[in-house]
């Protein structure tokens, strides 16, 4: 049974102030089991991004990622951003915990073409952790749009020199799935970086 509302995603408006992006407040179909998806999310108590090869997740999360990595979803992104993703690779990582040092203003690596962020937090009420898409690189208050971390909230943006984003310092549980469409010649170094990072976290955690 499908989880993602593809029609809703297809009709989302792309905004182009500073850089192209779109936001959907809840990508899921009405019938989905919210509790099951949250329960199937890996128990991540450390900061940083974890590659799928380094963690275990439940069936509904695996299905969700399968749909996010599908040809149908990729086609929606291609149409939205007028890009060809045929030769790209998609890298999916998960985050479960935000540290105080996270959220600093930045743009994404030039190895990336598109970034997709899906938040999975039930009853989210702390706006400190909400992602802000910014007009520049120096002021979190000068934002184009604030993206809530609520369950099902999805934002996708084209990676440019001006895709500034960040959030106010927040420490605590903050569940998200991130997809990056990567240029083919950069995929090896990108995957290696995430695998090394995840491996080191697991090593020190078990010491």
Task: Express each pLDDT in 190-203 by its tens digit.
Answer: 454 544 444 434 43
Q: Which residue, chain included where needed, has tokens 């549980």?
A: 173
CB 140 within 8 A of CB 168: yes
Whether residue 80 is contained in a domain is answered as yes
Q: Any bridge partners for residue 3, and if so which? A: none
Domain coverage including residue 29: 6-205
Mind listing the pLDDT tens digit for each residue in 115-155? Answer: 999 999 999 988 899 999 999 999 999 999 999 999 999 99
Within a domain: 96: yes
**Per-residue burial over 142-153, b = 16 or more CB atoms within 10 Å of its CB, e = otherwise:** ebeeebbbbbbb
- pLDDT surpasses 90 at 5: yes
CATH number for position 138: 2.60.120.620
Are 54 and 202 within 8 A, CB to CB? yes
Average pLDDT, stretch 39-47? 95
- Look at the chain and report how many structural domains it folds into: 1
């Amino acid at each position: 049974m499908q989880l993602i509302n593809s029609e809703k995603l297809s009709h989302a408006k792309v905004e182009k102030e500073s850089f192209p992006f779109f936001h959907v407040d809840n990508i899921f179909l009405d019938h989905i089991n919210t509790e099951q998806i949250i329960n199937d999310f890996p128990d991540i108590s450390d900061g940083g991004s974890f590659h799928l090869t380094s963690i275990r997740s439940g069936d509904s999360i695996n299905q969700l990622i399968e749909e996010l990595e599908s040809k149908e979803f990729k086609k929606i992104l291609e149409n939205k951003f007028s890009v060809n993703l045929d030769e790209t690779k998609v890298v999916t990582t998960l985050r479960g915990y935000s540290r105080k040092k996270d959220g600093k203003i930045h743009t994404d690596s030039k190895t990336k073409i598109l970034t997709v962020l899906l938040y999975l937090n039930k009853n989210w009420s702390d706006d400190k952790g909400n992602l802000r898409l910014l007009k520049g690189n120096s002021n979190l208050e000068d934002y184009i749009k604030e993206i809530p971390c609520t369950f099902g909230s999805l934002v996708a943006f084209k990676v440019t020199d001006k895709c500034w984003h960040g959030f106010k310092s927040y420490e605590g549980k903050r569940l998200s799935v991130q997809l990056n469409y990567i240029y083919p010649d950069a995929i090896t170094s990108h995957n290696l970086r995430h695998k090394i990072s995840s491996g080191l976290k697991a090593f020190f955690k078990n010491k």
